Amino acid sequence: MASTSRMETNKVVCYAHPDAPLIEDYRAGDMICSECGLVVGDRVIDVGSEWRTFSNEKSGVDPSRVGGPENPLLSGGDLSTIIGPGRGDASFDSFGVSKYQNRRNISSNDRALINAFREINTMADRINLPKTIVDRANNLFKQVHDGKNLKGRANDAIASACLYIACRQEGVPRTFKEICAVSKISKREIGRCFKLILKALETSVELITTADFMSRFCSNLGLPNSVQRAATHIARKAGELDIVSGRSPISVAAAAIYMASQASDDKRSQKEIGDIAGVADVTIRQSYKLMYPFAAKLFPEDFKFATPIEFLPQM
């Protein structure tokens, strides 16, 4: 007769050899002690895949009899029944139309959620965002959709705004222009939905700073770490000295990168930086003009100048 031994942690172990690893007999569903052969657990449920499907199989028939994973964001956890394609005469009416269709099994609310989740996932893939941000954006969209707070707004616009908020809440903010580039919605509409969602959900996001964008911009520009550290120091010092008050962090970061690169061997033009940062050349020039008179105070002390400060470009 099978016996089961359990410790206080509710972990299945052998009472004679609590440290011995257990062997699982998948055919019988037993857990067996590797030291003495005692069956310490029986009727263990196999949670593995029911079938093995290989990539080179071309039959096109899915042998699995189970659906996808449960989605808690959908009503009923997405535990719905999907009707397979009909193969006999009894599956079609006299006009050749299928009698049983899947569309009736999905509510309009779930259909809207599924489409929005697909749109969020597509946008996130285009700018290489991790799954944690996608999950947070999906939860935000679900809250907005259930609360019916943004009636009249397009779901695509709400989804884009939710992705923007999720990025900021996860500490990896993206600019409106970056979100706009991977969506079908205008920057103005995303901004409107962003404000409405924050108000409706009574939530907030942390203020963005130049440090949030510096490493990504410098990496995309192919700049070395020394230039990135100098640009970060310049932007931080400019904020401390209140030189660039009223300027957006993105334009300040772009101007700091321009100043640091011009003083190094790895020079980048305003247009190259503007294309990566998503700001116009004139915006970079305006911030650079404010920072240039204080350049000697902005650079870190250990920075190795390839171009002296007095020979930096003057706007």
What does the chain come to in residues?
315
Q: In angstroms, how far apart are the furthest CA atoms of the chain?
A: 90
**pLDDT tens-place string over residues 146-191:** 888 788 889 999 999 999 999 999 988 999 989 999 998 999 999 9
CA-closest candidate to residue 31, choices 8, 14, 10, 18: 14
Q: Which CATH number fits domain 210-311: 3.40.50.2300, 1.10.472.10, 3.40.50.300, 1.10.3720.10?
A: 1.10.472.10
Give strand pairing partners of 25: 30
Q: Does domain 13-43 have CATH number 2.60.40.1120?
A: no
User: For residue 143, what are the CA distances in angstroms to 132, 151, 162, 190?
Assistant: 17, 13, 10, 17
What are the boundaries of each domain within the chain? Answer: 13-43, 108-201, 210-311
Secondary structure (H, E, C), the chain: CCCCCECCCCCECCCCCCCCCEEEECCCCEEEECCCCCEEECCCCCCCCCCCCCCCCCCCCCCCCCCCCCCCCCHHHHCCCCCCCCCCHHHECCCCCECCCCHHHCCHHHHHHHHHHHHHHHHHHHCCCCHHHHHHHHHHHHHHHHHCCCCCCCHHHHHHHHHHHHHHHCCCCCCHHHHHHHCCCCHHHHHHHHHHHHHHHCCCCCCCCCHHHHHHHHHHHCCCHHHHHHHHHHHHHHHHCCCCCCCCHHHHHHHHHHHHHHCCCCCCCHHHHHHHHCCCHHHHHHHHHHHHHHHHHHCCCCCCCCCCHHHCCCC
End-to-end CA distance of the chain: 89
Q: What pLDDT was estimated at residue 171?
A: 87
Residue in 209, 260, 212, 254 with CA at minimum distance from that of residue 233: 260
- CA 229 distance to own-chain centroid: 26
Cβ atoms < 10 Å from Cβ of 251: 21
Average pLDDT over every residue of 284-295: 93
pTM: 0.68
Of 86-90, 117-121, 268-272, the one with minimum mean pLDDT is 86-90
- What residue type is assigned to position 217 of the chain? F
**Do 13-43 and 108-201 show the same overall fold?**
no
CATH homologous superfamily of domain 108-201? Cyclin-like (1.10.472.10)
pLDDT in tens, 254-282: 999 999 999 999 999 999 999 999 899 99
pLDDT at 86: 65
pLDDT range class, residue 64, cuts 50, 70, 90: low
